[in-house]
Structure 1
Amino acid sequence: MTTLLFLPSADLGLRWLRFADDDSVLAGQGVPIGDDAVVAVAPPESVTLHWATLPVRSPAQAVAAARLLVAEATATPVAELHVAVGDEGEGDRPIAVVDRGVMAGWLADLAVQGVDPIAMVPAPLLLPRPEDGYVRAEIAGLPLIRGRATGFADEGMVTDLVVGDAPVELLDDLLLDGWLARVAAAPPLDLRQGPFARRRRIGIDWAHVRRLAVMAAAVLLVTLAIDLVRIGKYSFGADALEARAEALGRTGLARGETVTDVDRQLTERLNAVRGPGLGFTTTVAAAYAAVRATPGTELTGLDFQANGDLRLSVAAARESLPTDLKRSLERAGFTVNAGTFQSANGRVTGEMTVTRR
């Protein structure tokens, strides 16, 4: 249910009309009791109404344009006025102007009574907008009259001056009750906008929170399952590669050899084939490369030791060449121990030992 709460006007205090779901209308005095939604009704003498064509792209643009129109139509500084814009679904849009202090006072008085209205509508806008002439009705003891672009309290001589010879229709009570119920559900203009807009209370929807928690837990479980599947896949793949490597390694061992550690056994066999240290082939190849790089030197003997050392017998054309050969071998990554070289018959001869560094 929705309740229209009429603010004090002239000698009238707080009054209310309540519209039930079964189309019945209840009336009373003072502050309504209950938790129903309340729409406050501002007295007509405190609100000035205008109608104008305004931008519809955004509420801010419409209010800005309305403030410019109001500034031209009133002597009161626009900064002291509260301007609100509504929409009746037609070309011209209603503009309500009320003093900021009055508006703040209404809301403060209602707050003291424990009422926070969901909207506040000017009293003349409770009447439907006529196609022609004026409509008249009395609502909660408040006589009102409205035309296409006017709305005010029905006050005898003033009404006659404004209305003139235009037709005035007195609204039927049944038609009026139906219209008031529509206005209570969707006011054509709400004064509670801009600085006086109703503050929204932030409530926690625990059911929604629980659903989000369940969804988050499901996402985490799915992510964990994906990681577990990936880990299992990598583990099985690693085991398969290890088994394949071991099978390939077995083919490099001697036939009939008992396999305990393929890695270590292949290393032992490789050492036995190539020799200790860097092996015979690698060490001799490096020695020959150094001799070729040192013109005037030659090898007269080779002796590959059981510990991987290579003993070289060297003959050179000049005294300096053995030293050059030694440096070339050292640059190749070996440790070279040179013996005593002797000169005889125009040749320099001696020995040096090449060791893995």
Structure 2
Amino acid sequence: MALDRIALENFRNHARSELRETRGFNLLFGENGAGKTNVLEAISLLAPGRGLRRAALDQMVGPAGAGFAIGASLREQGHESARIGTFVEGERPGRRQVRVNGAEASAASLGEWVAMSWLIPSMDGLFMDSAGARRRFIDRLALAIEPGHARNVSRYEAALRERNKLLEKGADTTWLDAIEAQAAEHGEQVAVTRSALVTTLSDELTALPDEPFARPLLTYRAGGPLERPALREEFARQRPRDRAAGRALTGPHRDELEVVMAGSGQPAASCSTGEQKAMLIAIILAHSALAAAGRPSVLLLDEVAAHLDPVRRSALFDRLRQGRAQVWLTGTERAPFEEITEEAAVWRVSGGSLEKL
């Protein structure tokens, strides 16, 4: 199953673009600024979340104003099985709406139809970034497998904000007990989902050969107790400390993803840029394999091939062939993709326009 008949209307620099007769490999090439990544971003919005750029909705609206629209067919064995779409109306620019087979649906429900993964250049510094960036990374991966994860994260964070306000005001313990119960309930679900994902990813990565991509070893470090009763007790015990700090110092919002390179045991942040990129690719490929189980899976790779040597590039294509995900790749020229050009659907992108080759 794959995405086909993908339509963009007034999305960034695409006034009206359509991609038909897609394949397992799909290649978009053109000059920088032509609109290649905009297509990937539009596709990423056919899944729960804020898309691969995490941009505000009004930043995605094209020059015509009055909102944007993105739609696609889910194709199975050559036949359309569903039509999914998302749009923003001009009079409601702050709200993204979703339709599935013409009926109104929630953004979270998109995760039941398609699992989306991506690797974009801005992710290259993940191992050097903050713990918060790595938590968002894990949450994004978890969302592709467990669509309800985003709701649990949102409710946990909302409960923590309310708890901070109550602590600041010196509220009665009854109110604190109630809000901490909510935080512990959703916090447990968040932590368990993250921990299970890291464990499953680690198993998938362990089965892979070390070459040609550096194999990462993942460890989930919980920021507090995982089980609800213990987490609730910890919140209550730490009220004086948290009141003085102005924030909760224990809980899933303090989780950390630790990554080291197999063999050397060197922390990913201390590895070379090339090694970090190779480990990140390995994680994304392992996740894509997991996400493809039971649902259509789409993998978006922005400017990946150009940064790999020929051996690793060929190995990447081989791994992608073996997977079940529909793959979308971008590049400024066709040369790095010659190995897959004959089996790919190819478009030239120029000034927000698409030409099928």
Normalised-by-shorter TM-score class:
under 0.3
Determine which structure has more spread, i.e. the larger CA radius of gyration. Answer: 1
| TM-score relative to the length of structure 1 | 0.20
Higher RCO by CA contacts (8 Å cutoff, separation 6 or greater) = 2
- Which structure features the higher share of helix residues? 2
